[in-house]
Amino acid sequence: MTTLAAERSWLLDRGLLKLVHQCRRLILAEFGVKLHLTDNDLEDQLASYARQSRSSHLNNAWEELKKQVPDLAKQDDDKPRNYRGQELAEPAAAAKKEEPASSSKTRTITYRGRKMEVPA
């Protein structure tokens, strides 16, 4: 049986602890949730908030932490990124989904007294 202290021995590294504190500060600023180092599911919560965040700083800090601690990579298993309950489109995926403007349908609307063509 492994203890929580044995599983989190990587937190004794000063550089890794600095990254964890940075993640905690960014999560507190964006979501208003204060994570504690003694939480049983700290790694799961860090991974969850990193997936939900729009902050590039939090994503970069989490990715750096995952690179240095291989056990954390299993926490973040390519789930789609969410922000406040809605799935975020990845930039590459969004470019593939866009259709050329010439093939899209348009409709006519009246805006401030003028007729305009807008995508349907």
Q: Is the pTM of this model over 0.85?
A: no
Q: Which residue has the tokens 């922000």?
A: 83
Tell me the per-residue pLDDT of 8-19, one tens digit each, with 9 for 90 and over.
788 888 888 899
For residue 65, give both structure tokens. Answer: 């932490």
CB atoms within 10 A of CB 34: 10
**DSSP string for residues in 5-72:** HHHTGGGGSHHHHHHHHHHHHHHHHHH-----TT-TTHHHHHHHHHHH---HHHHHHHHHHHHH-HHH
AA identity, residue 90:
E
With tokens 């890794």, the residue in question is 16
Q: What confidence tens digit (pLDDT) does each residue in 25-49 have?
A: 999 999 999 999 888 888 888 888 9
For residue 74, the model assigns a pLDDT of 65
* 3-state SS assignment for residue 99: coil
d(CA 90, CA 107): 28
